[in-house]
Homo-oligomer: A and B are copies of this chain.
Amino acid sequence: MAQIFMRISTNMTGKRRGRPPKYDRDTALAQAAEVFWERGFAATSLDDLAQAMNMNRPSLYNAFGDKETLYRQAMAWVDRRLSDQLGTALDTEPDLNRALKAFYDKALTVYLGRTTPLGCFAICTATAPAPRNEAIRRDLAGIIARVDEALIRRLQQAQSQGAYQASGSVHDIARVLQAVLHSLAVRARAGESHTALEKIYNAAVDAIVPEMPPLQN
């Protein structure tokens, strides 16, 4: 039941005992994520995963646990990478309007940037199992909450710099902005084009966070 994965028993020379693993943990997770991303949680078999990760099933169990555990690690892996990219997109651009557009555009490159457009991993594959799998449901809720927080921070930053004046609550506006992200996630997976999606987020940002009028002096 309570198994312990990944006992990192390295000695002081950094060399592990026993037969060395054939896989690299990070790339294996990336490969697992790719399969889950395309097929979803339930439709992905351990054989699919083992094949994609170039491992056999017992090794896979030994390294990552069962399918659910592996799925959650894969989702966390994808989330870390995406959060990094979206966070830097928000931070690099000083103008709020432009920062948000950069944010959405970076998301689109992830959502559309595979051989086939897959949308958002979490939104498009974690929703299905969520009602019957409390852990996955909480993972999904956590991912959404952290994006809320990132957007709130960015809005507050703009506000404190006088670059933005919220009509209502900044918390609520952040959630409206994430709504656009969710829609891009879904529409990308439904097959809509990059240009069509670009129009959506441009319209949204311009409607919700209009460009600053030139400073009056």
Q: A206 CA to B200 CA in the complex, in Å?
A: 18
List, sorted by A's number, 25 A–B pairs whose CB atoms are closer than 8 Å.
A40-B40, A40-B42, A42-B43, A116-B131, A125-B127, A127-B128, A127-B190, A137-B191, A138-B191, A144-B186, A168-B203, A168-B207, A169-B199, A172-B199, A172-B200, A172-B202, A175-B183, A175-B199, A175-B203, A176-B180, A178-B183, A179-B180, A179-B184, A183-B183, A207-B208
The reply on A123 being an interface residue by CB < 8 A is: yes
Cβ–Cβ contact B208 & A38, under 8 A? no
- Complex contact B43–A137 (CB within 8 A): no
A109-135 contacts to B (CB < 8 Å): 116-119, 123-125, 127-132
Asked whether A72 is an interface residue with its Cβ less than 8 Å from the other chain, the reply is: no
Report which A residues bind B (CB closer than 8 A).
Answer: 38-43, 116-119, 123-125, 127-132, 137-138, 140-141, 144, 167-169, 172-173, 175-176, 178-180, 182-184, 186-187, 189-192, 199-200, 202-204, 206-208
Chain B residues whose C-beta falls within 8 Å of the C-beta of A192 in the assembled complex: 141
Given the known interface contacts A183-B175, A200-B175, A207-B173, the answer about A43 and B128 at a Cβ–Cβ threshold of 8 Å is: yes
B-chain residues with CB within 8 Å of residue A123 when the two chains form the complex: 127, 186
A10 and B195 CA atoms in complex are apart in Å by 51
**Contacts A39-B132, A176-B207, A199-B172 hold; do A190 and B140 have CB atoms under 8 A apart?**
yes
Contact residue among B42, B172, B204 (Cβ-Cβ distance under 8 Å from A42): B42
If A42-B43, A183-B178 touch, whether A203 touches B128 (CB-CB below 8 Å) is: no
Q: Are A179 and B200 in contact (CB under 8 A)?
A: yes
Report which of B38, B176, B182 forms a contact with A132, defined as CB distance below 8 A: B38
Complex Cα distance, B120 from A131, in Å, reads 12
Bound together, the chains give a CA A182 to CA B182 distance in angstroms of: 7
Chain B contacts for A118, CB-based, 8 A = 131
5 cross-chain pairs, A with B, having the tightest CB-CB distances, nearest first: A40-B128, A179-B183, A172-B203, A42-B42, A42-B43
